[in-house]
Structure formats: structure tokens, C-alpha cells
Structure 1
Amino acid sequence: MAVVEPIYLSAGGNRHPAAADWNVDKPGLLAFGAGNNIALWDPLDEGFHGVQALLSGHTDIVNVVKFLPLKGVADSLILSGSADKSLRIWSRAADISTGWLEVKTITDHQSSINCVAVLHDSGVFVSGSADAKVNVWKVEHDENSEGIEVRLLQTISLTPKYFPLAVSLAQLNESSIALAVAGTKASIQIYISEADIFKLAATLTGHEGWIRSLSFVREASDDGADLLLASASQDKYIRLWRFHQGEELPAISSATSDPSLGAFGKSLSNKAHRFEAQDQKYSITFEALLLGHEDWIYSARWRRHRDRLQLLSASADSSLAMWEPDTTSGVWICVTRLGEISTQKGATTATGSTGGFWIGLWSPSGDSVVSLGRTGSWRLWNYQPEEDRWTQSVAISGHVKDVKGVAWAKDGSYLLSTSSDQTTRLHAEWLHEDKRSWHEFSRPQIHGYDLNCIDSIGTSRFISGADEKLLRVFDEPNAVASLLDRCCGIRNESVAALPDAANIPVLGLSNKAIHAVDENEAYANGQAEDQDTLDPAAVVSKSALDIDYPPLEDHLARHMLWPEVEKLYGHGYEISTVATSNDGGLVATACKASSVDHAVIRLYETKEWREIKPPLTAHSLTVTGLAFSDDGQYLLSVGRDRQWTLFTRNGAASRDYKLFAFNPKGHARMILGCSWAPRAASRVFATAGRDKLVKIWRFENTDVACVVTIPATSPVTAINFLSQLSNEEVIIAYGTETGDISIRVLEGKGLTTRYAFNMDQFLLPSKGVNQLVWRPQHPDRNVENINVSAEPQRKRHYLAVASEDSSVRLFALLLPDPA
């Protein structure tokens, strides 16, 4: 029986302050929203294996993810809320390939769900939605956590009407719960439960912007200690509020009497808000104002460390700050700051700037923190007690919008992906000690237009097409070639002749080659004084490029670009598809078109980068797919006009192609993909259509006939033959508009199906497949001085998948032994 297993899953995190949570009860697992999926990752995994699984179920962006620990249940549940207006509950399931199963869907809210808060071990949680309502829920379950039921206890309509962006729960006393709600207003509403019904007890004012995060903590470990509430706002400040039991007010915080804060005037007034709960009197007073961030603050999270409270805040100023009270004065101060160093804030990078941090999370032990940035990538810092400092470690990254294309290097050594998030990324396998793991090793292109297609030219060059109506060609720089050699065993013999790195000039779109600067040489030559005046993106130090691990996000955004070597002009609209010949000598391209004039195929030779004229004409609408045969003799095209066309080369050494054969009604609806079978299978190609059919065609001379028709359950959007025969068999994979992926093994000559199977539904993308590509046959790469056990390569094949759900997935197919 054939087996498919996931080797690598890559997806960027959603930019929402509530879209991630690190499980406290079961140290290790971090869950975060990735498009409309939920990604599971262990940041402290010693093998650096990245995303373990992608849970699909939501149909729109996931805004909030939260673990819900239940008393008497070994594993926490996962709660997720989405822009699709639904709440979903996930439970551990050992017999499911992802390890988690959706057990409940709640659709009571009428708009996007933006926040969720849980009360540990009680089963109580609340959800806030853009319908201006907060719902209070209770989870009930049996001892085996099977048959989970959820009861709606109360719906709170927020008045005056506003959208809740943050909620937090805390046990006030034995029978009362405190609920804090805030959002698109500058005030915080405090609700206190009485007999399971929440009533408004106080409204806290002082902030001057929307409030993005709320977090309760008990000041000391005993139950009678005061509660502290942290509120983080777009006004760049964090406010702390004290919930105190008794008629007497707590001692006035020294923070409010700090003379340096006099400029804030009445906003620091210590007005007491009084309320009763279960015949006990309480007061809420302003405790402290935390200053230090220079932009909106998105999240604030508490932790207790050796009986000391610490607060972690994440801000749009691209920094994480750790706050704690001074031991003598009690004034809250920032004791550690992580992220962008001040001299580089706002500096020109390939992305303009990092765009800030949206999420900051403590690890369960408090010895690690993670943050999520604008580019969807995670950063991880670990505390080193012997050095008393935080050091950055390898984390994960991924696309944040639909992935439009994937392409392997011609020798299969690495994978390229490109996306509507305007980036191209290079993925490769890290060989470290006796372990293997896949990572993003370079971000060759960071663009100003959505990228639509990509293909490799040889082993160290690629071409991509975008909405800007032209194509760009990129060469591998020395920094990336050396890194891939050190970490992945991928060698480029022409390293010495390559530029060191690349950058994007201010207000430009073209990556320019630059050379690395040795800091010591700069000082020796008297250039050190000029260093402060240089654009940080215009120079790169050699030490920054000399790493032996997958690049961190700062490296990827600044130092891992590829220099651009050529632009290809000619098309009048957005580029739709590109293909290169196996020998790298020719490039074929097409653009979006609604008329014959623009539905042409343009050919370019790659030596002088000249267009081969005239362009090839045959289609009347957009050409959706192009493919060269293995020997380059034929060029196959398919389009929205339901037609496939074959062009043949005029001679063995010629670059000119002419019309060979075509079928104006190849499918009943538009054709979305095409692929050539291996050369040994004679002249065979396949087409995939919106009519839910895969057709395999064979031709002798000019006679082309459909020899196999494979029905699918939904429109087929991508198709690819394995580039070599296996046991006289032909393997074909195709993906559909709904994310299904099927694999068929065909008899080499008659093309009859020997066996077929559909991939496990829990491993599939949750949206349409844009492209899938088999990895070219490659030798097992063992690096000197690195002990790596050889994989069984004889029947293991790798399939890369690009999906609308913003994920890049790499699967290994292990075929059964031949009968």
C-alpha cells in the first residue's frame, strides 16, 4: 500500500493579537491562526521540525486561538474563532493524522469573532464578536472528554455599542468571576458574575485609543491577593488596574505620584470604582502607567517568575518589552527589550520596515518568548541564565496570502515558492548533527506587486512573473550559495564569481548586487565615521552572512535577497504563467488576456535575453499553463478558451517553434493545467479542466488522441507527472479547487491505472491547489563531517503543493514493493 506522509508544512501567522496561544498545561505546543487554518508548532523542539499539523475547518481568516484546560482531562481543548462567524472546538485524537479533531462548531455570533478568554479548569469561556456582543459559555464533558457539550450561559450586548477586541476572565472569589471587555472605545468595561449572570460593575477610563489586549493576574500566589489587570492600547501605553477587597482603598501607587508624569494630568487620576460581589466589597483603582513603546501596543501577557510578576508587551514599534516593579520604589520599569535595535528602526529594508510585532507570548516555563511580525514569521528568544541575556533562536516562517506557484531547482536541491504576499521564498533541508528539518533559507524576492508564477532556470537562477506585466530573472548570491553549502550540502561551483548579496534601493523594485563589508577593514581605512550615515540596507557586514543555521527573520528580510539580472518586457497585462526548458535555454511566458492580441505566448532565449519573434499565437483567452517536453522539442499550452495547443521546434538547434497540433475543444470548460509525461513514455501529455476531468493524450506524428479520461469530484486546477519512470510506471498527481489531491500510478505503455488513491483528508489543503510539482530525482546529499543517515531513495518521491490557503506543503510518497 502506498503511504503519503507530510515532510514539511510552511504557513505564516495571521496578524491578529489574539491569533496564537502557547499551552501552559502541556508544555510544548503553540497553536496559531494561519490563513483559515490552525497551525500547531513546538517552538522548543530540539529537532526544529516546524509546523507539526495544519487543522482545517474554518472557511475564513482565523482571528483567535486559545487553549482551554479542563479539570480532570489530560489534554486541553483548542478554541478557535474566525471571520467566518464560527467558534470551533478541537480535541486530541490519537487516530487522526494531525492528532486533533474538530468536535464542536458554534455559530451563534452574527459577525467576525475577534477575542476569546478562558477561565482555567472551570470550563467557562467568553467570546467577543464584531456583532457588538460577548457570549459566555460553559463546556461540559464526561470523564473521557467524549461527547463535549457547550452551553450558552449569557449574551452581553455592549452599550454604548462598540466592537470587542479584547476580553479577560479571572476568579474574583470562590463564587464570583470578573470579566473585562474592551475594544473600539477608549474605556474598559468590568462585569462581575452573580449566580452565573454577569452584570456591569465599573467602566475604567484613561486610555486615549482602542484597547487591543487585556490580561488578569493575581498579585501573589495566595487566593486572597489582589487582582491586577493590564490593558494595552493603541495610545502607546499600558495601564495597570488593581482589584482590592475591602472598604479601605489600597495604598496609592508610587507610579501615580511620580513627578515626571505630571504632564499626563487628569488621565492619571486615581478615582476608585467600588462594587460588591457576594456580599463582599471591592474597589478598582489605577495602579501604574507603563511608558516606553513608541507605537501601538497589540498584546500584553503576564507571567509569575520566582514570585515576581513580569509583563510581556508586543508593539508596532517592532519590540518586545518585559516589565516588572522595581524592588525598592515599586515603580514599573522595562527590564528587557527585544526586537529591532534603535538604530535600525524605520531603516530601509527589503520590506520597508519590519512592520511591528502583533503577538508576544511567554513559554510555559517563562524561559522563552516568541513574537509574530508583519511578514507572518515568528521570532524566538531563549533566556541564557549563565550569561543573563536573551538570545534569538531558529523559528518558523511562511507565506501570509495564497501561494500561487512552486518550482524545484532543476536538480531538485531546493524548492522555490511565490505568493500574492509579494514574496518569493527558498526552502531547503537543513542537515544538522544527526537530524534533518526543512526551513526557509532565503527570501530572494520581496516585491511591490503580487507574484503569480515562478520557474527555475538551472540550479542557481529563477524567473518570476507578477501583476506588473513583466518578468524578472534572479541569480543566486554568494551569501545564499555558501549558506546552502554549509547547512544543506548544496554546492555551487561558481561561488567565487557571484556577488555577495543584494538589496533594494529606496523607491525601487529591482534588487541590486552589493558586496559585503568587513567591519575591521572599514575602521582601518577610516570609513568608520561614515557608517552611521549609510543606509543600513545598502551595506552588509560579512559577519552577518557567516551563519551556519537557517536564517532568522531579520536575516531573511535584510540579507537574503537575490540580485536581479534581467527584465523581460512585451506583455500588456498581468503575467499568468511561465515555463523554462529543461536545458535552461528557453523561457515561455503568457499574460492575462481577453482577446487574441494579448493571448500570445512569448519566447525568450536565456543567453542574450532576446525575445524570439514573432510570438506564438493560437489562443483567444488567457493562457493558463505552459510546459516544455523533456527534450525541448515540443511546447504545450492550455487556456481559458478550452483549447490545448502543441508547438514543435523547427530543428534540433533552432529556437523557433511552429504550430504542430491543437484541439479547440480539448475540454468542455476552461483548461487550468498541463504536464508532460517522462520521455520514456513516448509522446504523452495530460490536461486538467474545470469540467472535473483529467485527460491523458498520446500522439504519433500529427495524430493526437485522448487515451485516458480520469473523472474528479471538483474542478481540477493543477497536474504534474513524476519526471522519471518508476518500475516502468508513470505516476501522476492532480489537485482540485477544493484542495483534494489524488495520485495515480499508470502502466507505462498502455497508461491503464494500476492503482490510485486519494490523500488523507486531514493532510489536504483547506482551499484550492494552485500548483503541485514532483521533485526531480536527486542523490541523497551527505555533507562531510555531518552524520546523516541515508534515506531510502529508491521508491520515495517528494511532492510540493502550493495552495490558496497560504500554505506550502511537502509530502513524501512511499510506493509499495512491485508485485
Structure 2
Amino acid sequence: MVEIKADFLAAGGNRHPSAADWDQNSDLLVFGASNNVAVWSPLDTSYHGIHALLPGHTDTVSAIMFLYTPNSTPLFISGAADKTLRIWSPDPSSPNGFICSQVLTDHSASIHSIATVPGSTTFTTGAADGTVKIWRSVFDDAGSFVKADLVHSITLIPRHFPLCLAVAQLDSETMVLAIAGTRTAIQVYIFADYGYSLEATLTGHEAWIRSLSFTRETSDANSDLLLASASQDKYIRLWRIHAGQELPPSSRAANDPSLGVLGKSLSNKAHRFDTQENFYSLTFEALLLGHEDWIFTANWHRQGPNLRLLSASADNSLSIWEADPASGVWICTTRLGEISAQKGSTSATGSTGGFWIGLWSRAGDSVVSLGRTGSWRLWNYDKTKDMWMQDVAITGHTKEVKSACWAADHTYVISTGSDQTTRLFAEWTGNGNRSWHEFCRPQIHGYDLNCVSSIGPGRFVSGADEKLLRVFDEPSAVANLLERLCGIKTHTEGKLPDAANIPVLGLSNKAIQAVEDNADVDDQDDERIPIDPASVVLKSTLDIRHPPHEDHLARHLLWPETEKLYGHGYEISAVAASHNGKVVATACKASSIDHAVIRLYETKEWREVKPALTAHTLTVTGLAFSHDDEYLLSVSRDRQWAVFQRNSENENEYKLAACNPKGHSRMILDGAWAPGAGPRLFATAGRDKAVKIWKLEGKEATVVQTLAASTSVTAVAFAPDVVHESYVLAFGLEDGAVGIVRIRCGDLSVASADTMDRAIAPTKTVNELSWRKIRGETMPGSESSTGVELQFVVASDDASLRLFKISDLLS
């Protein structure tokens, strides 16, 4: 059986304030990545990124929280738009390290929030059905999770969506629950085994409330409870729950000079309630000002006697708040992120769109944030420098990954997708470890991107919904970065531009030159034209000694655009470059023969090679050149495939050599050529749940092997070399499954057929498969490689990019 192992996983985080949690025992951070749950260790010094993507949910994961366990094992709960809650338990026998122990289906709408209590087996969940449910988890004598039981169900009146929850232990018998969301008020309940009751409604916020967090004021378990509420009105409010008949000392908020006249209007109404053990009062404590946009999360952390609050905002900042020891006024002591001057724009040179999540590490000396681009940022506190320093974190696509390919020399992967970005991933070898990272973001676009293909060294072409294709060349900043950190030497001839940017109101990446740090950038002929800050980049900014952080990826590591390829009338559907880099074939969406043409462009002058190739009547879904570029294969929704042969007199021209109008009984979704100098073999994959292997002889092709699948086959690819006298074929299905088949070169029979473990396979449609060259040398007198280790990358609709390694091909 083939051994398949995940080498690298890339996935962006979901933009939901509740969709991540950092365990305070194991240092694992778990977050929602499309419909999967991603597991990551931010403090891992080997920088191996995402450990696993846990399948199970069928819709976007929107809430995650770790749950207390008696034996301190990392147990967590996830909730999603599929209306279900899943409880995950560690399992060393699972390929992902976790298994789903229970699925809770009591909610009737999308889950929005989960809250737990340290040291308690109780947890609460809130959903768009307007209910909050209180659960209790059950453990066996060994401390292993058994099940979760529903204890209470609260129907919110007036009905609203509970976007955030917070729970705390009020006394030995009673807990306090705060609920807020799509109203401007916070509802406070107390509950115990005997029932629950609404005790207070806190007003003051002027917009939706996105985050709630409880903590004790001191390390004493009997000290007052503090509740922080963060809102889209740009403010954080602190509330105090005090035990006893007497009210606590009056809040200093109204006397805070920083509030000006606002302080006079702050209400400090006391809400009183009691439990079976004590009397309590709930009062307004403080108003925290400083953020300039919506605040999505606010989380407490205690480090010794110091109590700190971390807030994440759409103004691109993380703020750390502490109470001034002398006055008691809460002030922002640290601000991380980006300056306000870069706020507002979502272009490549503007803002990254704000922070949706901010979390503390267990020790409190590290914080992470998740931004609009799906990328995480990590800051560590350096005691010697007395400042917070940014460290390497993880990135990934936030929507469907539509296409992925290896560079011409198979050194890095280029991917593109519906999040309108093209990303380059490579292996970092300069730190003593080997780990994969995103090293640049060549294209940040305004349209969904559908396909990408590498054209020789340091160049690629991408197609989008804008009806044209764009060609990009590698800048020297990226070439130097890849050579310095990955050992990838550039083969591009001539002088490269330093970097690229998108001008104000521009749509194309323009080449720019870096300037010295002490250069006078204001020196220009026309003083009436203001300097565009995005057009200036310092050389020191591009001199990076580690995988780039998100702020570099979003602004400084674009590739300059060198050409646009026009001609198609609809959204681009497929693109392929010849292996010699001299020809690019393209196609677009089509419902008639007039648009279902294949256009060829020569890459020297970038002129279209006419006439366009005709054979199909509907959208061409896949294009592939044979390994010697002698043939071009096209497959289409019209159920036929076509093979075009190169003109012997002009290597840029192709003409129809063979076609089959009934190649499959339903639409054909992909095609690929087999390697080697033996018989001409190609594979086609279709909606009819079959992969067909064809042998081309002259102008005829016959089926030599048919591989059946469980559902529609959406992607197919041959390994680039023959391995032990066998062709290795991978195919991906509509449900995310991936099959690996070995076909003997001699009689073309199936030597082995394996299916990837669904625990590590994508959970949605596989859009593209691309193989990396085999590690190993070719044996003298044989086409076979001595190496038995292959790698291939999978692009999927579940917003993940996965790199797999295959070994034990002979077993």
C-alpha cells in the first residue's frame, strides 16, 4: 500500500471573532479554516505551521473554544454554519491527532459563539436561532471525555443573534452568563442546577457587541468579577460584579479627564441580584477609548498581579490595556499592528483590512492576531529590548483554491483562487529546519482568479474573471529572498526590477526601484504632484532574513506585470504553458463554438498565433502540453477531447490531429499526458465518474484502461517520471477524495490502486493536482528513477493547499 503523508498545509483563518482559541495548557491554537478546523502551534521553534486540518463540518466554522478536562488533555469544541457542534478529543492513532467524539445537533441555525469556564465542565453555545444552550460534559474516572449533556436552553427575548458569550463562576453553586450580539445591550443571567434567570440588562453601547470576557480583579478567588465588552461603536466597556450589600467604591470612569464631556453622560446604575449564597451588585466600571474602528475581540490575561486586556480592531491594531496603579484609569500601554495612515484601503499597498481576532499565549509574553487576508501574525515580547517583536506565523487562502502549479524547475508552488490572490510557497532551509512558507504574494487582484501556469524560470501567467490574462516576472527582491532562504537560484537573464507596486487608482502591478534608506524621495520636478508612499520602497525593507510577515506579503512582494493577453470574450477557464516556455494556450467560458476556441500566444513578442484552434462547442475545462510539447490536449464540457499536433515547420503553431466527440458520457473536467518516450498516453477525467487512459496512434486514440470512481472526477495528473516501470497517476474527486494508481508500462494494467485517507484529504472538490519531480537519479539504460519518493500539491474548494509526499510505491 502506498504511504501518503502531508508535508505542508496552508489555509487561511475564517473572519469570525469567535473562530479561534489558544489552549492555556498545551499551547495549541485551533482555528476555523473554511469548513475545516486547523491545528497550529504558534510557539513551535521549527515553524512547521499547521499540524492538521480536521474534517467533519460541512459549512464555515465560526466558533471554537477549548474545554476544561480533569487530566489537562486538549479537548475543544467547534461550531459552524452547518448548525452542529463537534467535540474533538486527542487520539494519537489518528493521522490528524484528533477525532470527533460527539456531534451535537440541538441548535437549528448557524453557531456563532461558545464560552467555557476554567476548572468547570460547563460550557455554553449561542446560535442564530436566537437561543443559548448550557451544556455539561461528562468524563470517566481516567479523565477521558464521555459525552456532553444539555442542561438548560435559553430563548432570547427580544430575539437576537448571540454573537458573543462569557461565563464565570459566581459562587460555589451559581454561574453568571453574559450574552450580547445584534443588540446594543448585554443580558446577564445567573444559572445553577435548579434553573436560570435574567438579572440585568446592561446598556451603554451604541452598536452590535462582538466580544465579552470575564476575569477576577485579583488572583483571589473571592475578588470582584470584571466583564469586558467590545463593540462596533469603537469602545470597550468594563463592568464590575461585587459581592455584598454595599456597592463598590464609585467608578473613576466619570472623572477620567481623557473622556472630556463624555464622562458626564456615563450612567453608573447599580443592578442588584442575589443567589442562594450571597447578594451582588453589577455596575459600570470604565470606558476604554483609543480604537478608531470596530472592535472584534477583547480578552483578559493575568500575569502575576498584573491584569491586562488585549483588544483587536478593524483599525489594524492590537492594543494592550492596563490600569494605571496611581489613578486606576485604564490606559493603552502597547499598540501593535499598523499605523492609521494606511487604514481604509484594501489594495495591495493599503491596509490589510483590520484584525478580527486577538489571543494571548499561556505565559502572556506572546500574542497573535488574524487579519482580513486570513493570515496570522505573531508577536513575542523581548525582555532585553523591552519591546514586542514580530515573528514568523502562517498564511493561506481564504476562499476556494482554483489552481496550483510547480515552477518550471519544480522549486516552489504557485497557487491562485477566489480570494483574488496569487501566492508563492517554498521550503525554508536556512534555519537548520525544513519548513514551508508563503514567500511572496505576486498578484493581489480585483477579480476572482481561476487558473495559473508557470512559463519558464521566474515567470507565470494567470487568468481571471476579467476576460484577459496577465503575465508576471519575478523581481530581484523575491529572487534574492528565495536564493538566500531557500537556495533557489534565479535563472532569469537580464536586470530585474527591485519590486512592484499598484499605483493609486491603478489595476496593474508596476515595476519600481528600491531607494537607499537616506535617499531624498521628495526630490521631483513637479512639486504639485504629491508623492505616492506606495511607490517608494527602501532597500532595507526588502532585505529580509526570514519568511516574510504578512505586512511584507501584502505590500512589498508583488511581481511586476509585463504583459496582458487579450482576445477572449468571457471569463478565463484554463491556461497552460508549453514546457519550453515558448507558447501559452488559453481558453474561456463558452456556450457557443465562437467562444469555445483555444488561443495560442508566443512568448517572445507576445503575439497571438492565428488562427485560434477550434474543436469544441462549450467551455474548455482543461489544457495540457505533452512533455516534449509535440501535442496539446484539450477537454471540454461538450464531452469531447481533442489533440492538436505541433507544426513541423513552425513550433508555435498547432493543428487538430485527433478528437473524440464522445470521449465520456458526461462533461470532461480535466486531462493530462503520461511521461516517457514510450507510447503516447493521456488521461481524461469526467463527470461520469471515470478516468480513461487513452493511447494515441496517429489520428486515432483508443481506451486502454478505465478507472472507476465513486463520484465525479475533477482533476487528474501523471507523475513527471516513470517509477519502477510504472506510470503513477493521481486523480481528485468532487467530494475531495484523492486516488493514487500505478499503471504498468508494459501491458498498461493496474499494478496498484490506493485512496488517500479521508482524514488528511480535502473535504471539498479537488480543483487541480500537480506533481513535483522525483527525488532520485535515473538508472543507466532505463527510463525509471531510482527514487521512490514523490510529491504532489492539491488545490481544493475547501480553501486549502496541501502538499503530500508519497513513498513505498513498491509495497
Offset at 1:528? 15
Matching of residues 231-630 of structure 1 within 5 Å: 231-264=229-262, 267-346=265-344, 349-350=347-348, 352-494=350-492, 497-522=495-520, 534-630=531-627
1: distance between equivalents of 2:524 and 2:347? 22
Residue aligned with 1:540, SS: coil
Which residue of 695, 700, 704 corresponds with 1:707? 704
| One-letter amino acid matched to 1:11 | A
- Contact 1:4–1:814 (CA<8 Å) still a contact in 2? yes
Residue aligned with 1:739, SS: coil
Return closer, same or farther for 1:337/1:727 CA change in 2, 3 Å cut-off: same
Return closer, same or farther for 1:772/1:351 CA change in 2, 3 Å cut-off: farther
Return closer, same or farther for 1:409/1:272 CA change in 2, 3 Å cut-off: same
Return closer, same or farther for 1:805/1:531 CA change in 2, 3 Å cut-off: farther
Per-residue displacement from partner, 1:248-293 (whole Å, max 9, x unpaired)?
1111122222244242266511110000011411000110000000
Which residue of 675, 685, 688 corresponds with 1:691? 688
1: distance between equivalents of 2:725 and 2:111? 53
Matched, 1:769 2:766: yes
1: distance between equivalents of 2:533 and 2:250? 46
Residue in 2 aligned with 1:679?
676
Offset at 1:408? 0.4
Matched, 1:803 2:800: no
2: distance between equivalents of 1:348 and 1:668? 45
| One-letter amino acid matched to 2:401 | V
Return closer, same or farther for 1:342/1:533 CA change in 2, 3 Å cut-off: farther
- Contact 1:347–1:536 (CA<8 Å) still a contact in 2? no
- Contact 1:153–1:196 (CA<8 Å) still a contact in 2? no
| One-letter amino acid matched to 2:21 | D
Return closer, same or farther for 1:495/1:680 CA change in 2, 3 Å cut-off: closer
Offset at 1:507? 1.9
RMSD: 1.9
Mean Cα displacement is larger for which, 249-258 or 609-618?
Answer: 249-258
2: distance between equivalents of 1:353 and 1:209? 23
Residue aligned with 2:467, SS: coil
- Contact 1:36–1:61 (CA<8 Å) still a contact in 2? yes
Mean Cα displacement is larger for which, 189-198 or 236-245?
Answer: 189-198
2: distance between equivalents of 1:770 and 1:136? 41
Matched, 1:25 2:30: no
Residue in 2 aligned with 1:214?
212
1: distance between equivalents of 2:625 and 2:199? 71
- Contact 1:134–1:158 (CA<8 Å) still a contact in 2? yes
- Contact 2:633–2:644 (CA<8 Å) still a contact in 1? yes
1: distance between equivalents of 2:113 and 2:106? 15
| One-letter amino acid matched to 1:585 | K
Per-residue displacement from partner, 1:334-378 (whole Å, max 9, x unpaired)?
000000024433467516421000000000110100000000000
- Contact 2:343–2:353 (CA<8 Å) still a contact in 1? no
Matched, 1:728 2:721: no
| One-letter amino acid matched to 1:707 | V
- Contact 2:477–2:557 (CA<8 Å) still a contact in 1? yes
Matched, 1:120 2:113: no
- Contact 1:194–1:278 (CA<8 Å) still a contact in 2? no
- Contact 2:458–2:491 (CA<8 Å) still a contact in 1? no
* Aligned positions, number: 804
1: distance between equivalents of 2:711 and 2:235? 51
Residue aligned with 2:659, SS: strand
- Contact 1:469–1:575 (CA<8 Å) still a contact in 2? yes
**Structure 1: runs of 5+ lacking an equivalent:** 781-791
| Percent identity for Structure 1 against Structure 2 | 58
Return closer, same or farther for 1:688/1:119 CA change in 2, 3 Å cut-off: same
**Structure 2: runs of 5+ lacking an equivalent:** 778-784
Return closer, same or farther for 1:347/1:401 CA change in 2, 3 Å cut-off: closer
Residue aligned with 1:67, SS: strand
Residue in 1 aligned with 2:193?
195
Which residue of 636, 640, 645 corresponds with 1:639? 636
| One-letter amino acid matched to 1:428 | A
- Contact 2:78–2:87 (CA<8 Å) still a contact in 1? yes
Residue aligned with 2:481, SS: helix
Return closer, same or farther for 1:179/1:431 CA change in 2, 3 Å cut-off: same
Offset at 1:757? 1.0
Which residue of 665, 670, 674 corresponds with 1:668? 665
Matching of residues 744-783 of structure 1 within 5 Å: 744-777=741-774
1: distance between equivalents of 2:590 and 2:374? 33
Offset at 1:496? 6.2
Offset at 1:144? 4.0
Mean Cα displacement is larger for which, 630-639 or 315-324?
Answer: 630-639
1: distance between equivalents of 2:433 and 2:240? 49
Offset at 1:57? 0.4
Per-residue displacement from partner, 1:622-668 (whole Å, max 9, x unpaired)?
00001111111111110001100111122154322111111111111
Give the TM-score normalised by the residue count of structure 2: 0.97
Per-residue displacement from partner, 1:596-616 (whole Å, max 9, x unpaired)?
111111111110111111111
Return closer, same or farther for 1:340/1:654 CA change in 2, 3 Å cut-off: same
2: distance between equivalents of 1:601 and 1:526? 49
2: distance between equivalents of 1:110 and 1:185? 21
Return closer, same or farther for 1:597/1:338 CA change in 2, 3 Å cut-off: same
2: distance between equivalents of 1:635 and 1:663? 14
